[in-house]
Amino acid sequence: MGELLMNVVDWSRAQFALTACYHWLFVPLTLGLGIIIGVMETIYYRTRDEKWLATTKFWMTLFGVNFAIGVATGIILEFEFGTNWSNYSWFVGDIFGAPLAIEGILAFFMESTFIAVMFFGWKKVSPKFHLASTWLTALGASISALWILVANAWMQYPTGCTFNPETMRNEMTDFWAVALSPMAMSKVFHTVTSAWALSGAFVVGVCGWMLLKGRNRDHCIRSMKVGGWVGFIGIVLTSISGDTSAVTVAKHQPMKLAAMEGLYEGSPGQSIVAFGILNPKKEIGNSEDPFLFDISIPHGLAFLATHDPDGYVPGIEDIILGKGGTSKGFGLKPLSFEQRKEHGKVAMHALAFYNDALKSRDSTLLQQYKQEIEDNFKYLGYTYLEEPEESVPNVPLTFYSFHFMVTIGGYLMLFFIVVLLLLYKPKWVPGRTKFQKLGYWLAIITIPLAYLCSMSGWIVAEVGRQPWTIQDLMPNKVAISDLSAGYVQTTFWIFAVVFTALLIADVSIICKQISKKSKTNLDVVETK
């Protein structure tokens, strides 16, 4: 059964990862382009300059194509919680379902109602109503992101709830603690503003291609001004919220932080790896150096994680062994893996006999079990793990994804500064004429880099929290549905083929639309 179970777990994880990755290919552009279009249409509304209307409509076409496939991949994600993660759906459905329902009621209806006006309402409603509809569509997308990220954050930092042994599930006790947890807030801001940065890069990159072809210069300048500013503001806010995210992760998911840094043994004033190549021979407990090569910044990680240059950051082995008594600013008690497992066992034992005590109405025993559950429940998940190694995520994938994300994030900051300088203070940029073509190519290449950066962020967030579906409470292998590996494997491949086919169509349409429209005059509105 064990092997079979692992297969189902792996295929279920693979299917969810596949769907989430495809979904995230389209969502950030919807989030950011919605804002960019909103700004463009606002300028048109205020100036009544038809050129801005033409520019708005150009980007709106791309928004529509991208939006549809984002919707298509999104529905699967919501229902996969039920189809593939049946135990999970019961264990935390009382908390996790609420954000999903709120997302539907508040956000999806807003998006789906007003997007119809946005595309088909130009001649049916007033310009003011149309502008409001465009902003409401963008707002709906952002509200949708907010609630799904609140749900995701709760899985990483379960709060505002208590375990009910009679129903065998976690139940919500504080809605605002769930909705406004520090993990949720940093995640929402980090994700949404990074989507602005990606969309800014998309707009600038597409314009770069058009300029390379010598088409619609004025339209490109208009677009790049809006895209550049939205992208720049986005990346600045992403950096600020990234800092908050790091502190939150350090506090609530120290193992994830350790994996992000490839840190096995931590210390006060821990340095941060600016660049490094991991040593493949390094395993937990052996004496190999974790890095073949690394460039580190002294006190960097300590400052990043604790906002104190001398703060203590535990490594993977420290967390397993429960080292780190001098931890500064950390919520995790320095309990070893074995100790946490022991605590979890106490909770598990109390849970197993709680209902018997309830039936026999033994109030003394009942009170004792209740107390044991309350004191030890937060370590329940460890009882499902056999070895300490199981509590460690994939270090290379987390480490390289994190460093790639940070590097490209830094590059994007520089990129948007240069773009804005070229647009507003071109004389300040030396060699702008000489390297013009190179600049256009750089703008084009920035599009895939921004996508990879965005995807890397999610890999860090999701791979880094393994093996937990719900941090410390429920590992993946306990969260699944009663399915055979073959069933999930079949649907995995069906979705892989379908999503890939749709992605091909999506990219092809977007490229064709850009190419076709760039040959027309984008300073005037197309009429029939």
User: Which CB atom, from 101 or from 295, has the smaller least distance to other proteins?
Assistant: 101
Q: Which amino acid is at 347?
A: A
Site for other proteins in 312-331 (CB under 8 A): none
Between CA 454 and CA 14 the distance in angstroms is 19
Site for other proteins in 81-120 (CB under 8 A): 81-91, 93-98, 100-106, 108-117, 119-120
Q: List the one residue from 27, 35, 53, 65 that touches other proteins (CB under 8 A).
A: 65
Q: List the one residue from 235, 442, 453, 478 that touches other proteins (CB under 8 A).
A: 478
Q: Which amino acid is at 289?
A: D
73 binds other proteins, rule: CB under 8 A: yes
Do 164 and 171 touch, CB atoms closer than 8 A?
yes
Site for other proteins in 336-355 (CB under 8 A): 348, 351-352, 355
Site for other proteins in 204-263 (CB under 8 A): none
Name residue, tokens 């429209």: 517
Nearest to 327 by CA among 314, 308, 340, 309: 314
HSE at residue 103, side-chain half, CA atoms within 13 A, is 20
Residues 365-404, one symbol each (x = binds other proteins by CB under 8 A, - = not), give -------------------x--------------------
End-to-end Cα separation, the chain, in angstroms: 66
Task: Please name the residues in contact with 197: beta carbons below 8 A apart, sequence gap of 6 or more.
Answer: 32, 231, 234, 235, 238, 412, 416, 450
Shortest gap between Cβ of 123 and other proteins (angstroms)? 8
User: Which CB atom, from 61 or from 339, has the smaller least distance to other proteins?
Assistant: 61
Do 457 and 398 touch, CB atoms closer than 8 A?
no
Shortest gap between Cβ of 69 and other proteins (angstroms)? 5
The backbone torsions φ and ψ at residue 278, rounded to the nearest 5 degrees and listed phi first, read -70, 145
User: Which CB atom, from 174 or from 289, has the smaller least distance to other proteins?
Assistant: 174
Shortest gap between Cβ of 124 and other proteins (angstroms)? 6
Three-state secondary structure call for residue 400 = helix
360 binds other proteins, rule: CB under 8 A: no
Shortest gap between Cβ of 81 and other proteins (angstroms)? 7
159 binds other proteins, rule: CB under 8 A: no
482 binds other proteins, rule: CB under 8 A: yes
User: Which CB atom, from 319 or from 470, has the smaller least distance to other proteins?
Assistant: 470
User: Which CB atom, from 241 or from 466, has the smaller least distance to other proteins?
Assistant: 466
HSE at residue 372, side-chain half, CA atoms within 13 A, is 20
Which H/E stretch holds residue 510? helix 485-518
Shortest gap between Cβ of 466 and other proteins (angstroms)? 17
Shortest gap between Cβ of 281 and other proteins (angstroms)? 33
Which H/E stretch holds residue 469? strand 468-470
User: Which CB atom, from 77 or from 335, has the smaller least distance to other proteins?
Assistant: 77
HSE at residue 396, side-chain half, CA atoms within 13 A, is 9
Between CA 12 and CA 34 the distance in angstroms is 33
Question: Running DSSP on this structure, what letter comes out for residue 391?
Answer: G
Site for other proteins in 21-60 (CB under 8 A): 57, 60
C-alpha distances (whole Å) from 233 to each of 18, 37, 411 are: 30, 16, 14
Residues 412-451, one symbol each (x = binds other proteins by CB under 8 A, - = not), give ----------------------------------------
Which residue(s) pair with 128 in the sheet?
Answer: none
User: Which CB atom, from 169 or from 378, has the smaller least distance to other proteins?
Assistant: 169
172 binds other proteins, rule: CB under 8 A: yes
Q: Kindly indicate which of the ranges 72-80, 280-288, 402-410, 418-426 contains the residues binding other proteins, using the contact rule CB under 8 A.
A: 72-80
171 binds other proteins, rule: CB under 8 A: yes
Reduce the secondary structure of 286-353 to three states and give it as a string. Answer: CCCCCEEEEEEECCHHHHHHHCCCCCEECCHHHHHHCCCCCCCCCCCCCCCHHHHHHHHHHHHHHHHH
205-227 burial: b if 16+ Cβ within 10 Å, else e: bbbbbbbeeebbeebbebbbbbb
Angle at 56 between CA 53 and CA 58, to 5 degrees: 110
Shortest gap between Cβ of 220 and other proteins (angstroms)? 19
User: Which CB atom, from 95 or from 522, has the smaller least distance to other proteins?
Assistant: 95
User: Which CB atom, from 279 or from 368, has the smaller least distance to other proteins?
Assistant: 368
Q: List the one residue from 121, 300, 329, 396 that touches other proteins (CB under 8 A).
A: 121
Size of the site for other proteins (CB under 8 A): 94
Shortest gap between Cβ of 479 and other proteins (angstroms)? 9
User: Which CB atom, from 95 or from 447, has the smaller least distance to other proteins?
Assistant: 95
473 binds other proteins, rule: CB under 8 A: no
User: Which CB atom, from 394 or from 515, has the smaller least distance to other proteins?
Assistant: 515
HSE at residue 119, side-chain half, CA atoms within 13 A, is 16
Do 238 and 193 touch, CB atoms closer than 8 A?
yes
User: Which CB atom, from 116 or from 438, has the smaller least distance to other proteins?
Assistant: 116
Q: Kindly indicate which of the ranges 201-209, 220-228, 459-467, 497-505 contains the residues binding other proteins, using the contact rule CB under 8 A.
A: 497-505
- DSSP per-residue string spanning 366-389: HHHHHHHHHHHGGGGGGGG--SGG
